[in-house]
Amino acid sequence: MTTTTAHKRLDEIETYLTPKEWAIRLADELRKYPNALAHLKVLVKLPINELPIRRPYYAFEEQAGELHPGQKSDDIRARHRMTDVLWGEFHTLKLLIRLVNQVTQRKVESISLQAALQLSALHALILEDVLGHMATHDAALTEAGNDETSLKEWSHEFTMLLKDLYAHRAAVELIQGEHFDGHPILFLNWEAELTATARTIESAVATANEYLKRRAECDGAGTNGGAGESDLAIGLESIKASAGSQPAAAIAEKWHHDASHLAIESDEEQWKQCREEFGANE
């Protein structure tokens, strides 16, 4: 098969792709590169009609033209309506990809910083608690009471951090499942950062829970018949389960709503520009 024939067949296939299929191809294109900057450096070298955010429009024009080939006013309006609908669906999905990546970037950066600070605070609390238990009996009782409060506050704050991370991670998965047939849509660097951040905070939870367990065993303060379990222990699996249901659904719904709203605001300008470019290439 010659290169020309291959391109022709590819063009024929692209003509019949749905907006979702074009959006999935866009997501796959983004994920060929390590980050957004690397992708942008490639895009600036392409002619405008070859840009992955422009090519779908030409295909939608072709689809509409095949279904409404006439030159009467009704035919022309029908072509424009169909093109607008198809482009609108793709444009919304394109904006959804961008929005999810932007929010994930901000969330990962914020939670990574908070997790580092919380982990440092945990190490300080453990050291203070150990020193308190090594002091005199009376002093130990006082220190233990103070550290109990501090550990409780730390456990609460870290639990909120966990819920936030898991809810956003689950929301990304919901978006991918509902709108992109399960295809990943995050840039590779943000996907890796999200995974690394989850591992970091889960490691912190394991450290905290292990210390609290040993502390409870030493104090004889176990809550399960002396089994050495602490009331302050963080239930990782239960947090994952709770954050992955309603909170994640609410976040995913907001992302889709915001992307749809942005698409409506920018549609008229986008379509006008695409039509002008399409007409210039005919």
216-222 long-range CB contacts below 8 Å, 24 or more apart? 218/133, 219/144
> Checking phi first, is residue 228 left (phi over 0); if not, alpha (psi -120 to 50) or beta?
left
Q: What is the rounded CA–CA span in Å between residue 44 and residue 185?
A: 21
Report how far apart, in Å, the C-alpha atoms of 171 and of each of 63, 64, 174, 217 are: 33, 34, 5, 38
More confident position, 14 or 247: 247
In the chain, % of residues over pLDDT 70? 80
Q: What is the rounded CA–CA span in Å between residue 152 and residue 207?
A: 15
| pLDDT, position 227 | 47
Q: What is the rounded CA–CA span in Å between residue 186 and residue 99?
A: 10
Residue 69: is it exposed, middle or buried by C-beta count within 10 angstroms (0-12/13-18/19+)? exposed
Q: What is the rounded CA–CA span in Å between residue 156 and residue 234?
A: 9
Does the structure show a pLDDT above 70 at 38? yes
- The answer to whether the beta carbons of residues 243 and 234 sit under 8 Å apart is no
Q: What is the rounded CA–CA span in Å between residue 235 and residue 220?
A: 21
More confident position, 132 or 32: 32
What DSSP letter does each residue of 197-210 carry, written as one string?
HHHHHHHHHHHHHH
Q: What is the rounded CA–CA span in Å between residue 236 and residue 198?
A: 11
In the chain, % of residues over pLDDT 90? 46
| pLDDT, position 49 | 78
- The answer to whether the beta carbons of residues 31 and 99 sit under 8 Å apart is no
Q: What is the rounded CA–CA span in Å between residue 85 and residue 68?
A: 14
Q: What is the rounded CA–CA span in Å between residue 15 and residue 178?
A: 24
Predicted confidence (pLDDT) per residue in 91-101, tens digit: 999 999 999 99
Q: How confident is the model at residue 197 (pLDDT cuts 50, 70, 90)?
A: very high
